Amino acid sequence: QVQLVESGGGLVQAGGSLRLSCAASRRTFSTSAMGWFRQAPGKEREFVAAISWNGGNTYYADSVKGRFTISRDNAKNTVYLQMNSLKPEDTAVYYCAADDAIGKMTVGGSADYWGKGTLVTVSS
């Protein structure tokens, strides 16, 4: 029913930039909070960033503050993650997520809906 499809992953050098996109299948999803998580090899999935339904509030993990920016375009049912000053530690599969409550993402580290992920690899 609710589909989230990520795109934009790839290979970049340390210090470079990458822009991820997440397209939602339903226009009604514009009323939901959206977020990004990531999972590095051998590690658990972790929260990266989230944005409220109207874009008025954003939240970031400490590890990406000042480098990553989350935004959304409800008219296009699309959420973005602009990643700058990338580090090798940012290498992971990045997942798009959605939930009615943004606190479930920022505090609970979970969400009701997930995309299948897009791989970001940052080389040294």
Q: Which two tokens stand for residue 111?
A: 């969400």
Question: What pLDDT, in 10s, does the model give residues 12-52?
Answer: 999 999 999 999 887 656 678 999 999 999 999 999 999 99
Question: What pLDDT, in 10s, does the model give residues 42-72?
Answer: 999 999 999 998 888 999 999 999 999 999 9
Is residue 78's pLDDT more than 80? yes
Beta bridge partners, 36, equal 49, 96
**SS3 annotation, 26-90:** CHHHHHCEEEEEEECCCCCCEEEEEECCCCCCEEECCCCCCCEEEEEECCCCEEEEEECCCCHHH
Is residue 104's pLDDT more than 90? yes
Query: Do the bridges between strand 18-24 and strand 33-39 make them parallel or antiparallel, or are there none, so unpaired?
Result: unpaired
